[in-house]
Structure 1
Amino acid sequence: MITTANIFAHELIGLDAKIIESTNKTLAGLVGTIIFETKNTLAMRSGNATKIIPKSAAKKIKIVTENGACFISGSSMIARPEDRISRL
């Protein structure tokens, strides 16, 4: 079960997300579903378009889980998904 306390130890693919703050003004307010993740980027499907978001550009991301929403910094997610677990 994904909670705000263990969000970094789980897979983000398939979760709904919204970019609240970004250094790139065109990304702020983007809403979609996370479809892919690399070390430095998130790919989000918004409507029919897929946007690649640099994690370092996303200052605040709202991720919706089944238990509510959590707000995280994109720079705190910079790592390969499998390596995030070992950092905890």
Structure 2
Amino acid sequence: MITAQTLLWHELIGLAVSVVKAGNPAYVGISGPIMDETRNMLVILTPSGTRRVEKKGCVFLFTLPGGVRAEVDGSALVARPEKRISMRNKR
């Protein structure tokens, strides 16, 4: 089960997300479900199409199943998804 405390160790694809702070002002306000994830980027589906947002330098607001919201610094997400998920077993 995904909680605010375990979010970093779960798959992010499919979760609703909003960019609340960013070094690049063009990213602020982008929201929608995550369609894909790479080491440094989240691909977010917006009404106008997909947008690629850098993880580093942004703060994201995730809406988890059950309606719980969690704010995450994008720097904590910078890693290959499969490596970030497997780090759970090492902590």
TM-score normalised by structure 1 residue count: 0.92
Deviation of 1:38 (Å): 0.4
Deviation of 1:66 (Å): 1.3
In the alignment, the residues of structure 2 paired with residue 10 and residue 53 of structure 1 have an alpha-carbon distance, to the nearest angstrom, of 19
Deviation of 1:48 (Å): 3.5
Matched, 1:36 2:39: no
- Contiguous gaps of at least 5 residues in structure 2: none
Task: Name the Cα RMSD after superposition.
Answer: 1.2
**8 Å contact from structure 2 (residues 35, 45) kept in 1:** yes
Counterpart for residue 65 of structure 1 = 64
In the alignment, the residues of structure 2 paired with residue 45 and residue 29 of structure 1 have an alpha-carbon distance, to the nearest angstrom, of 13
**8 Å contact from structure 2 (residues 43, 52) kept in 1:** yes
Q: Percent identity?
A: 31
In the alignment, the residues of structure 2 paired with residue 57 and residue 23 of structure 1 have an alpha-carbon distance, to the nearest angstrom, of 5
Kindly provide the CA deviation profile for residues 29-85 of structure 1, in whole angstroms up to 9, marking residues without a partner as x.
Answer: 111110000001000001141000011131x10000014010001111000011113
How many aligned residue pairs are there? 87
Counterpart for residue 9 of structure 1 = 9
Counterpart for residue 20 of structure 1 = 20
Q: Which runs of 4+ in 1 moved over 2 A?
A: none
